[in-house]
Amino acid sequence: MFASVTSRIALQTRSTLAQRFYTTGAGVNTLLYVEHKDGAISGATLNALTAAKKLGGSVTALVAGDAPEGVAQQVAKLEGISKVLSAKNTAYANSLPEDIAPLLVEAQSKFGFTHLVTGHTAVGKNIFPRAAALMDVAAISDITGIESEDTFVRPIYAGNAIATVKTNDKIKVVTVRGTAFEASSATNDAGVSEEEAPSAETLGVTQWIGEEIQKSDRPDLGSAKRVISGGRGMKNGENFKMLYDLADKMGAAVGASRAAVDAGFVDNSLQVGQTGKIVAPELYIAVGISGAIQHLAGMKDSKTIVAINKDADAPIFQVADYGLVDDLFKAVPELTEKVRTRPRISNYKDLETRMEDEASFAGTVKKQQTTCNGYGTLQSVED
Ligand SMILES: Cc1cc2nc3c(=O)[nH]c(=O)nc-3n(C[C@H](O)[C@H](O)[C@H](O)COP(=O)(O)OP(=O)(O)OC[C@H]3O[C@@H](n4cnc5c(N)ncnc54)[C@H](O)[C@@H]3O)c2cc1C
């Protein structure tokens, strides 16, 4: 099945991964699988739409669910969508791959789609490899760039290398890394036509039992502009309160390393990294995290990385734009206090000024000039 995929491994750069300009698209006919929950289109689908539009050609959206009408109407107004297929069935209510994958196969067979695209989310990762297997083509997962209609860029080895993969398969089944493509938010008030999706057999081999969702007033970890993550250095779950206090002051989401999750300090929905969430906020603060490659795989595309660690040799400092070598139990409360009593940090320039002005407050601030990844210029980005 994978024989038709060839790969060329290139050295990683921190720059946007191979977002090369690509204009052709003749003959491209893409199906975008729309992930949605509680009547809202998922953010990852809007990122995937941008990737779909980059392919050129037409983009048909497929909305499946027990009541897909409302979402289908929203999707019909998204700029770049040429048609919406709506599949209504109680079996589609919870995106079970055993039922949705055959639906994708039927839709492809009826409309001759050349590309199937969706977000690289738990849902996308569940459904798309199964659909690819049913069509006997390779699944190309977690793409971060599109070089042409058959050539895609994707990280491998936990992001330590970037592969450019070219597929000879007639149907390209692709999941898209959300942080690598801007969300497509433009709308087209006129809307496009909606029609019923072809019917597919629902196997009923799996049954949806239920789900437990962590509700939080804090920003969503996957899309927050600022993230503060704690690692094993936090020592226990109670100490994470320090991070929540700081996060609340900064309007940030809280994340964690796998070691912190495995030790039971926090819920695993907070895990950032290769086997957790991939985030790329404007500001990422790593507290008591050593910087293992599996953690870096989930956050190294963040625009500005700040590390607080008592070990000056911790690998996290190799990717940090700013590093504070100090005991976190001293540094974090002091930082929170400074944030509390000073005007809110609203952009990178503020943060840069603050960190430099207050270099004396908690040890040594090391500004990384450049790193092996060839970055290090701090940008001033408005909130
Ligand atoms: C297949 C696989 C997948 C994985 N996926 C992930 C993943 O998705 N995400 C992930 O994070 N990891 C993942 N890991 C685990 C990863 O290899 C590391 O074990 C993990 O990231 C380490 O977490 P940590 O940095 O919190 O802990 P440690 O490596 O133990 O580092 C703790 C750090 O805290 C510092 N510290 C301690 N006390 C203080 C203090 N008082 N003040 C300041 N600093 C202090 C220490 O100096 C140290 O650098 C994966 C591993 C494998 C094999």
Q: Compute the distance between CA of residue 175 and CA of residue 45 in angstroms, rounded to an integer.
A: 10
Task: State mean pLDDT over 172-200.
Answer: 93
65: β partners: 88
255: β partners: 229
- Ligand 1, atom 18, lies closest to the CA of 292
Shortest-distance atom of ligand 1 to CA 308:
43
pLDDT tens across 313-331, in order? 999 999 999 999 999 999 9
Distance between start and end Cα atoms, the chain? 46
CA geometry: angle at 270 spanning 267 and 276, to 5°?
A: 115
Quote the pLDDT of residue 373: 33
Report whether 4 belongs to an annotated binding site.
no
Quote the pLDDT of residue 346: 61
The set of residues, in sequence order, having a beta carbon less than 8 Å from that of 181 and lying 6+ positions away, is 47, 48, 50, 51, 54
Q: 292 C-alpha to center of ligand 1: Å?
A: 6
Quote the pLDDT of residue 191: 86
Shortest-distance atom of ligand 1 to CA 235:
38
Is residue 45 within a helix (H) or strand (E), and if so which, with residue range?
helix 43-54
Q: 210 C-alpha to center of ligand 1: Å?
A: 32
Report whether 292 belongs to an annotated binding site.
yes
Q: Which of 355, 40, 14 is nearest to 220 (CA)?
A: 40
Q: What percent of the chain has pLDDT over 90?
A: 74
pLDDT category of residue 218 using cuts at 50, 70 and 90:
confident
Write down the mean pLDDT value for the chain. Answer: 86
Report whether 257 belongs to an annotated binding site.
yes
Task: State mean pLDDT over 65-76.
Answer: 97
Q: Which of 129-138, 159-168, 205-214, 299-308 has the lowest mean pLDDT?
A: 205-214
Quote the pLDDT of residue 349: 67
- The DSSP secondary-structure symbol of 376 reads -
Is residue 172 within a helix (H) or strand (E), and if so which, with residue range?
strand 172-176
What the block records as the tokens of 225 is 């502009």
Report whether 130 belongs to an annotated binding site.
no
Q: Which of 109-118, 222-231, 351-360 has the lowest mean pLDDT?
A: 351-360
Residue 231: HSE in the Cβ half-sphere, 13 Å Cα cutoff: 21
Task: State mean pLDDT over 18-37.
Answer: 76
Quote the pLDDT of residue 345: 58
Burial class of residue 147, CB neighbours in 10 A (0-12, 13-18, 19+)? middle
pLDDT tens across 275-288, in order? 999 999 999 999 99
Q: 294 C-alpha to center of ligand 1: Å?
A: 9
Residue 308 has pLDDT above 50, yes or no: yes
Q: 230 C-alpha to center of ligand 1: Å?
A: 9
Report whether 214 belongs to an annotated binding site.
no
Quote the pLDDT of residue 372: 30
Quote the pLDDT of residue 189: 85
Shortest-distance atom of ligand 1 to CA 328:
42
Q: Between 97-111 and 122-135, two packed helices, what is the crossing angle to 10 degrees?
A: 50
Tally DSSP H helices, then E strands, for the chain. Answer: 10, 19
Q: Which of 181-185, 251-255, 303-307, 367-371 has the lowest mean pLDDT?
A: 367-371
pLDDT category of residue 376 using cuts at 50, 70 and 90:
very low
| Binding pocket residue ranges, ligand 1, CB within 6 Å | 231-233, 257-260, 271-276, 288-290, 292, 294-295, 298, 309-311, 314, 327-329
Task: State mean pLDDT over 184-197.
Answer: 91
Q: Compute the distance between CA of residue 272 and CA of residue 275 in angstroms, rounded to an integer.
A: 7
3-state secondary structure of 306: strand
Q: 13 C-alpha to center of ligand 1: Å?
A: 23
